[in-house]
């Protein structure tokens, strides 16, 4: 059985992105009583944000409590390429040049799925009971998946001008939090139901994280590690809930204090 190499590579730079290679890690988990006690104590003692050591000897204002929150992921945890509405927004512009092979196309609405598994984008749901945190951390990410597939898997579609190509299905999760953000995560790709190996995807610089705390399904607080104004996907916020962050603390201390007080009361 003759096989052929396939490489599917993509990068994404949405509007207001801090990077040409924007990726994201999203995790969802519950908060323990010990974590809530620590949160309250650090805010009451004004030690929640403090000077921390970064890379190459640099320092920044951060929170170890927020950093550890990424590990709260018993409900959900995915890392991938981030894009807004359509995967066609993504490119293949790796630093050393395009790396995708030319023997595949992404599956679109024209494809007949009656004989194959149809991978529909998956909505990510937030648990409605208890105190839950949704963690969103933006970072550099270049998606690259590869494999060797039987040439018998190739398809043609004369109407679409497709001849002898692998039809690639995208594994996509949809994140929607009303008033805060809506975006998609490309985390995997498949051909005829077989997942391609994406271990060659690479992650790099981390930008900042946002953490949305829910109580019984209702959002009660927004915390962030950002020392500057927000970028995609949290730059089009319609909610009036302020972000408890080093940026807000420095630029609007009264609003910061009011947001912290509200959070402690709701917990």
pLDDT digits (tens, 9 = 90+) for 227-250: 988 889 998 888 899 999 999 999
Q: Which segments in the chain show pLDDT lower than 50?
A: 113-115
Count of CA atoms in the C-beta half-sphere (13 A) of 231: 23
Q: For 59-130, where are the E strands, in sequence order? A: 59-62, 76-83, 104-106, 122-123
Model pLDDT, residue 60: 80
pLDDT digits (tens, 9 = 90+) for 66-102: 999 999 999 999 999 999 888 888 988 866 556 899 9
Model pLDDT, residue 111: 58
Model pLDDT, residue 53: 75
- pTM beyond cutoff 0.85: yes
Model pLDDT, residue 150: 92
Model pLDDT, residue 114: 47
Model pLDDT, residue 115: 47
Are 11 and 90 in contact by the 8 Å Cβ rule? The answer is: yes
Q: In angstroms, rounded to a whole number, what is the distance separating the alpha carbons of residues 265 and 267? A: 6
Strand partners, 45: none
Are 48 and 245 in contact by the 8 Å Cβ rule? The answer is: no
């Amino acid at each position: 059985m003759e096989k052929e190499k396939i490489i599917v590579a993509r990068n994404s730079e949405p509007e207001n992105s801090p990077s040409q290679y924007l990726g994201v890690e999203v995790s969802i988990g519950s908060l323990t009583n010990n974590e809530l006690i620590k949160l309250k104590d650090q805010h009451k003692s004004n030690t929640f944000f403090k000077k921390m050591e970064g890379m190459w000897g640099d320092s920044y204002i951060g929170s170890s409590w927020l950093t550890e929150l990424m590990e709260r992921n018993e409900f959900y945890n995915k890392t991938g390429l981030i894009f807004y509405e359509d995967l066609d927004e993504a490119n293949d512009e790796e630093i050393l040049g395009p790396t995708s092979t030319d023997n595949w196309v992404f599956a679109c609405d024209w494809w007949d799925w009656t004989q194959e598994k149809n991978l529909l984008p998956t909505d990510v749901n937030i648990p409605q009971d208890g105190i839950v945190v949704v963690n969103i951390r933006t970072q550099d990410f270049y998606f690259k998946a590869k494999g060797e597939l039987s040439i018998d898997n190739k398809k043609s579609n004369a109407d679409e001008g497709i001849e002898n190509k692998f039809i690639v299905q995208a594994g996509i999760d949809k994140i929607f939090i009303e008033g805060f953000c809506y975006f998609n995560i490309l985390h995997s790709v498949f051909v005829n139901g077989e997942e391609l190996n994406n271990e060659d995807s690479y992650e790099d610089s981390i930008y900042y994280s946002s953490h949305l705390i829910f109580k019984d399904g209702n959002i009660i607080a927004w915390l962030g590690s950002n020392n500057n104004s927000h970028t995609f996907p949290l730059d089009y916020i319609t909610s009036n809930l302020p972000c408890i962050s080093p940026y807000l603390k420095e630029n609007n201390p009264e609003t910061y204090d009011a947001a912290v007080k509200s959070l402690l009361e709701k917990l």
